[in-house]
Structure 1
Amino acid sequence: MTTATVAAPPASAGATRASSPYRLSFAHLVHAEWIKLTSLRSTWWSIGLVAVVSIGLSLLMAASFASFGGDMPAMSAEEANRQAVQVVVFSTVLTQLLAMILGAITVTGEYSTGMIRSTLTAAPGRIAALFAKALVLAVTMFVTGIVVFAVAALVSGPLMPTGALDLSLPDSSIMPLLGAALYLALIAVMGVGIGFIIRNGPGALAAGIGLVFVAPILVLFFPQFETFQWIHDAASYLPSNAGQSLFMGAPMTGTALETLPAILTLVAWTVVAVAGGIAVLKTRDA
């Protein structure tokens, strides 16, 4: 007597993926990017350097104001807040470069070591991996900025002849500091986009630093003649100038933008960088 054996039909690929306990979700990608970011010594060195430079420059500038003593003109509470904010966020002239560098090297470092192949194998759709990396960098830089600015405000406030920040006027105290932290976060995301576009460490750093630091300085070489006025007008929409309009009220070059146009300008630059990174990531092999 024989027993017939009936083979079970093979499970579909979709059913296998749905029942697998190891399905890689976006939250898992974010967690993986967080581990990669925090396990690098360069991350902590960069964050530490941002803190030291920011707090040190704030103390130096506050001491400079203190040296004027009674020679400082009388100010309203809002004017005193604006001066205190400038002391706290003055360091962004340099720390924006560190944000750009950190964003770029988290991408180009993976290309140089070959780890990007493992990343894209785990996330074959590719775009989710880019968004996860950008999200982790943005949150890290935003939180770092808030903490560093808070410490800088605490240590520089007692030195200011006009007094520390008056938090009862949030429009001239809290909001500019949040704007500066947002700026650093968006600059880091731009670095991620540029990193995916260029894929080469020195090249990405040169492009990023040229955009946020060198380009506004180059505008200074054009005289304020009618022939070159369009250059000065366009300079207002460079990332660093828009950022300085947002949290300092006055850019290095160009004219100051209102809050909403400044934010939209920064978001537009970030979207362009990320869109370029997506286009290259989807069309070129790792």
Structure 2
Amino acid sequence: MTTALAPAPATPTRAAAADSPYRLSFARLVASEWIKFTSLRSTWWSIGLVAVVSIGLSLLMAFSYAAFAGDMPPMSVEEANRQAVQVVVFSTVLTQLLAVVLGTITVTGEYSTGMIRSTLTAAPGRVGALFAKALVVAVTMLVTSAVVFAIAAAVSGPVLPTGAIDLSDPDSSLMPLLGATVYLAIISVVGVGIGFIIRNGPGALAAGIGLVFVAPILVLFFPRLDSFQWIHDAASYLPSNAGQSLFMGSPMTGELLEPVPALVTLAAWAVVALAGGIAVLKTRDA
């Protein structure tokens, strides 16, 4: 006599997973990161500081040029645009620090509160969460920078003796502004990568600020002699110097890069930072 065995009932976990209409996807990871990102007060404080510093410095520099309007020779459209764009993007010397800070605290804040455990439990693959966070930070910084630069151009244009930016010459007007916007977005992504690598707030901030702001200044201590020329050549590929080649026309240190090499350099820094973050995220516990 044989006895038929009834099939084992499905466990509640498997049944729930089978019946649930929701599946983990990159779009949902982005949505969750967006909710976390926008619910933090530090996010809005950082964005507010970017706006205030950028617009304030642009106005200050515009009034400085206006004070010497009588001593300025006539300018071509390209020269006038170069001056107006410099006024608008001058603040990136400081706001680049806020961009890298925004990227790092988005990550290190989760490690300090322990929320990273919930994030990695919801996204066990881990890499998707990293890319979702980087995308949210980058897009936010891109849009914020574009809006802030537009406002800065609008309020500083009437003050400048040469007038507002002439958009009829895109190479000297729109392209540098676009370069500055992309630069700040990429720097925030570098901050995200550094945050995942170091996972400690003060340490990540020190590394990010050191890379973006301190490293180019250190190059100034080396005289422009043949024996130190390699240092100045290498400095051209630091993130801030490559970025300034896009929109300032001359980097703080190093040599001027053409737009394509400058963009490739910035992209390489972002890839290296994210790759380092992935390596740490996949090999170490939260």
Q: Normalising by the residue count of structure 1, what TM-score does the alignment of the two structures yield?
A: 0.95
Aligned AA (1:114): G
Secondary structure at 2:157 match in 1:
helix
**Counterpart for residue 193 of structure 1:** 193
Per-residue deviation, residues 159-207 of structure 1 (Å, max 9, x unmatched): 1111110011111111111111111100000000000000000000000
**Counterpart for residue 31 of structure 2:** 31
Secondary structure at 2:252 match in 1:
coil
> Partners in 1 of 2:118 and 2:240 — Cα distance?
34
**Counterpart for residue 238 of structure 1:** 238
> Partners in 2 of 1:47 and 1:10 — Cα distance?
49
Runs of 4+ in 1 over 4 A off after TM superposition: 8-11, 13-19
**Counterpart for residue 214 of structure 1:** 214
Following TM superposition, by how much is the alpha carbon of 1:65 offset from its aligned partner in structure 2, in angstroms?
A: 0.4
> Alignment identity in percent?
80
> Partners in 2 of 1:18 and 1:73 — Cα distance?
75
Answering whether residue 101 of structure 2 is matched by residue 101 of structure 1, we say yes
Aligned AA (1:211): L
Q: For structure 1, which runs of at least 5 residues remain unmatched after alignment?
A: none
> Partners in 2 of 1:117 and 1:6 — Cα distance?
39
Q: How does 1:71-82 map to 2 (within 5 A)?
A: 71-82=71-82
> Partners in 2 of 1:241 and 1:142 — Cα distance?
19
**Counterpart for residue 226 of structure 2:** 226
Aligned AA (1:144): T
**Counterpart for residue 183 of structure 1:** 183
**Counterpart for residue 86 of structure 1:** 86
**Counterpart for residue 170 of structure 2:** 170
> Partners in 2 of 1:121 and 1:249 — Cα distance?
46
> Partners in 1 of 2:167 and 2:9 — Cα distance?
68
> Partners in 1 of 2:66 and 2:248 — Cα distance?
20
> Partners in 2 of 1:15 and 1:189 — Cα distance?
39
Following TM superposition, by how much is the alpha carbon of 1:239 offset from its aligned partner in structure 2, in angstroms?
A: 0.1
**Counterpart for residue 284 of structure 2:** 284
Following TM superposition, by how much is the alpha carbon of 1:22 offset from its aligned partner in structure 2, in angstroms?
A: 2.3
Q: How does 1:70-149 map to 2 (within 5 A)?
A: 70-149=70-149
Secondary structure at 1:87 match in 2:
helix
**Counterpart for residue 155 of structure 2:** 155
Following TM superposition, by how much is the alpha carbon of 1:10 offset from its aligned partner in structure 2, in angstroms?
A: 4.8
Secondary structure at 1:75 match in 2:
coil
> Partners in 2 of 1:135 and 1:222 — Cα distance?
37
> Partners in 2 of 1:143 and 1:18 — Cα distance?
39
> Partners in 2 of 1:110 and 1:168 — Cα distance?
46
Aligned AA (1:46): S
> Partners in 1 of 2:15 and 2:275 — Cα distance?
33
Answering whether residue 47 of structure 2 is matched by residue 47 of structure 1, we say yes
